[in-house]
Amino acid sequence: MSYSIVWFKRDLRVVDHAALHAAAQRGPVLCLYVIEPSVWEQPDAAHQHYLFLLESLRDLDDNLRRLGGQLHVIVGEFVALAARLLIANPFNAIYAHEETGNGITYKRDLAVGAWCKVHNVEFHEYRQFGVVRKLKSRDDWKGYWDKHVHAPLLPSPTPSASQHSLQFVPLPWQTTETVKLPNPAKLGLALDAPKHRQIGGRKLGLNVLQDFLNDRSAQYRGGISSPLSAPTACSRLSPYLAFGCISLREVVQSTYYAINTLPAGNWQKKGLVAFVSRLYWHCHFIQKLESEPELEYQNVHRSYDGLRENDWNPAHFEALRTARTGWPLVDACVVMLRETGWLNFRMRAMLVSVAAYPLWLHWRPVGQWLARQFLDYEPGIHWSQMQMQSGTTGINTPRVYNPIKQAQDHDPHGHFVRRWLPYMRRVPDAWLFEPWLMPQVMREHLDITIGVGSEFDIPEPLVDMQTATREAKAKLFGLRSQPEVRAGKAAIVEKHASRAHLKTSKPNSKSTSRSKATAKPENPQITLDF
């Protein structure tokens, strides 16, 4: 009996699943997920990602069993397993979603395509997001995005007696024994998952979506920048989108539906409109990596090569990683990230800015560390943001966040800092943002020691913020001002800059015409604050 493989990757759902929908219409299917050791041994993989994946796989398996089938989870490399399957029970096609992942999954997908050609196996891939493979011009991209998100949702297949009933194929070598999934340690993962991370699975993802649309979105505008309000003001959908527990299209359409139920001028409605623009930027950044996979490894603007790479300071990186930089808001953010696997966008940008400017750290090692910290790690967004916040894209105005000012703006009473840094609870309000300036007599009275090193109660900044930032900006802007560097900017704008300024089509728009916007926007700077 001829059948197709539905290869699940970062699309762990049955609703609005183009690959499953198409394969089910063709005939019997074998639903497969492959845990690939080569993927999990990469420096951007983390224990928390693996746990979230397993939770999502169990949820997916439950949904497939309701349809009369099951999800088969195999450990190994996909090409080798496909070859084994072809011998044991020949199949004629593989159906999957396109994945804009890291370098190893990019090479893996190319290898799968090449293997399919050699063995006369059809390989069908479908868009997961509003990201276009082999995009010829950025001028066309927004039209593609609009068309994708406004297309009708694909329903979950339903088992029936109809001509296109969903039929499942068992694994040829399946036994009655439960497949034992590999221990995280055997995959090379450090057992350091956050204690308070979000839990995976479509069911929980839908609950988070409805909670946001019906209630929490009222806090969105004005609430997403502060680390105090952001945990509830932000949608918190990012890990469910990253693992594909819910589709981007159903989030966009559910949001528009909620918008249309609210009166004009309603504050919650304004928050939801702003949220839609965030979903647009979500795909905008992933498209950058899709169009240029090398930006995970090398500077977008190659004239910035060598800017920081040769000045790596392991002591600075260790202080950042262990929350001992001496800037209370920075260290509190690192601790929150370690405990929850999540941090709001503004604080993420501040972390990268502090690493890139006063600490003068190259974005690549910092990015690998942060990728493991972020439960919602999405390679396209992550590496685009790492370079953008580090000033190596060549087209974005460098944003240098002062952590002292950020604390004054977003945690003026120190509630956030004191929650995540217990030692700050002993510091009086007057010295909250700069405890190292506390007079010695006050330190002795409070029995507090301040200095550089683990033996002190409170860390002192490794560098003087103003001096180090001034020197870093001088290096960066000195390079940016060179004629050859400025000359290389146009090609990057043409390839990566947005053609739309936070405008999306109205719901149910039928327009699919290509954008006629100029190839050079007036301001290529991305603004994500509301």
Let me know whether 110 and 32 are in one domain: yes
Percent of all residues in the chain with a pLDDT value above 90, rounded to a whole number = 82
pLDDT in tens, 502-521: 444 444 444 333 333 333 33
Which of 91, 126, 161 delimits the end of a domain?
Answer: 126
In a domain, 499, yes or no: no
In a domain, 481, yes or no: yes
What mean pLDDT comes out for the span 205-226?
97
Give the residue carrying structure tokens 């001509």: 163
Let me know whether 356 and 245 are in one domain: no
pLDDT in tens, 449-498: 999 888 899 999 999 999 999 999 999 999 999 998 888 888 888 888 88
Let me know whether 324 and 362 are in one domain: yes
Write down the pTM of the prediction: 0.92
Query: Whose CA is closest to 85, among 174, 167, 171?
Result: 171
Whether the predicted pLDDT of 205 surpasses 90: yes
Side-chain-facing half-sphere of 441: CA atoms under 13 Å: 0
What is the per-residue pLDDT for 177?
Answer: 41
Let me know whether 465 and 373 are in one domain: yes
User: In the structure, what pLDDT confidence band is assigned to residue 165 with cuts at 50, 70 and 90?
Assistant: low
pLDDT in tens, 134-149: 999 999 999 999 999 9
Let me know whether 35 and 120 are in one domain: yes
Q: Is 29 helix (H, G, I), strand (E, B) or coil?
A: strand
Let me know whether 242 and 346 are in one domain: no
Which of 67, 96, 126 delimits the end of a domain?
Answer: 126
Let me know whether 482 and 361 are in one domain: yes
Whether the predicted pLDDT of 527 surpasses 50: no
Per the structure, the complete domain to which residue 12 belongs is given by 4-126
| Total domain count, the chain | 3
DSSP state of 391: T
Let me know whether 233 and 310 are in one domain: no
Query: Whose CA is closest to 386, among 99, 171, 102?
Result: 102
User: In the structure, what pLDDT confidence band is assigned to residue 61 with cuts at 50, 70 and 90?
Assistant: very high
Give the residue carrying structure tokens 């979903």: 279
Let me know whether 370 and 517 are in one domain: no
* Residue 393 CB-density burial (10 A; 0-12 exposed, 13-18 middle, 19+ buried): buried
What is the per-residue pLDDT for 500?
Answer: 59
Whether the predicted pLDDT of 528 surpasses 70: no
In a domain, 407, yes or no: yes
Let me know whether 360 and 431 are in one domain: yes
Dihedral sign (CA 505, 510, 513, 514):
positive
Q: How is 127-168 classified by DSSP, letter by letter?
A: -SSS--TT---GGGHHHHHHHHHHSPPPPPP---SSTT---B
What mean pLDDT comes out for the span 36-48?
97
In a domain, 174, yes or no: no
What is the per-residue pLDDT for 234?
Answer: 98
What is the per-residue pLDDT for 529?
Answer: 40
What is the per-residue pLDDT for 510?
Answer: 42
Q: How is 276-324 classified by DSSP, letter by letter?
A: HHHHHHHHHHHHHHHH-GGGGTS-SSGGGTTSSGGG--HHHHHHHHTT-
Query: Which helix (H) or strand (E) segment is 450 a member of?
Result: strand 450-451
Let me know whether 273 and 317 are in one domain: no
> What is the average pLDDT score of the chain?
91
CATH of the domain at 366: 1.10.579.10
CATH of the domain at 238: 1.25.40.80
User: In the structure, what pLDDT confidence band is assigned to residue 499 with cuts at 50, 70 and 90?
Assistant: confident
Whether the predicted pLDDT of 5 surpasses 90: yes
User: In the structure, what pLDDT confidence band is assigned to residue 174 with cuts at 50, 70 and 90?
Assistant: low
Among 51-55, 325-329, 369-373, 492-496, the range scoring the smallest mean pLDDT is 492-496
What is the per-residue pLDDT for 511?
Answer: 39
Let me know whether 513 and 410 are in one domain: no
CB 4 within 8 A of CB 29: yes
Query: Whose CA is closest to 82, among 42, 53, 118, 40?
Result: 118
What mean pLDDT comes out for the span 194-219?
98
Q: How is 509-521 classified by DSSP, letter by letter?
A: ----PPP---SS-
